[in-house]
Structure 1
């Protein structure tokens, strides 16, 4: 089994994008989470490609028919990864996305969602028509 060295570049092909959002969510430099999909009944070495907020956008290719030459398959890197690690989009073709894998890093997403009061002053200045009358 190939050892993933911290100083070496590791690239993987994203497959299955046609089942999700095609290539639309991907841009050069986009950060994704590579997460082991332990519930995948079709592939026990499945690694899901997750885009924050959007969700699953594909899988790391694991078939000789889908792995682009020069990239690693999911099976070659699976045992060398934590449950989740960072991937960054480095190449996009008309049909494929290639990610650089950072096994020692992961995404940390921090989103603040606050509840605020509506601006009641807005409603005070608007005169509503009497019930039953419509104004256009």
Structure 2
């Protein structure tokens, strides 16, 4: 599954976005604007934006936050595959891909798990 990440370009610009960067996906059911909101967090930056949930912002071929929301746990991970300005397309990690990331001691996934 691929998702569009709308980053907070006013806070960080495209600086946190890097190819193959690990993004932690965190559901925000109490978000006052969208009960299907999924925040995106990265090492060194914290929250960098949200998974797009509008037909106007979801890049073609990607799933919206609403379509992904019930398919992931409270905290999940994705890997950035494409970057376009302050937006990115990320692939949600499968269980096998997640376990492979855990084998890499240099992976940002270890730092993002520390908050759990």
Which TM-score band (shorter chain)? 0.7 to 0.9
| Structure 2: runs of 5 or more not aligned | 100-108
The equivalent residue for 2:19 is 28
Q: Work out the CA distance in 1 between the residues paired with 2:8 and 2:89.
A: 12
Which has the larger displacement, 82-91 or 18-27?
18-27
2:93 maps to 1:91: no
Q: Select the residue among 100, 104, 108 that pairs with 2:110.
A: 108
Q: Work out the CA distance in 2 between the residues paired with 1:55 and 1:62.
A: 20
Question: TM-score, normalised to structure 2's length?
Answer: 0.78
Deviation string 1:65-110 (CA, Å, 9 cap, x unpaired) is 0000000000001011100111111001234211111254493327
Q: CA deviation at 1:54?
A: 1.6
The equivalent residue for 2:44 is 53
Which has the larger share of helix?
2
Question: TM-score, normalised to structure 1's length?
Answer: 0.68
Q: Work out the CA distance in 1 between the residues paired with 2:10 and 2:33.
A: 15
Highest Rg: 1 or 2?
Answer: 1
Which has the larger share of strand?
2
Give the length in aligned residue pairs.
102
| Structure 1: runs of 5 or more not aligned | 1-9, 112-136
Higher relative contact order (CA 8 A, sep 6+): 2
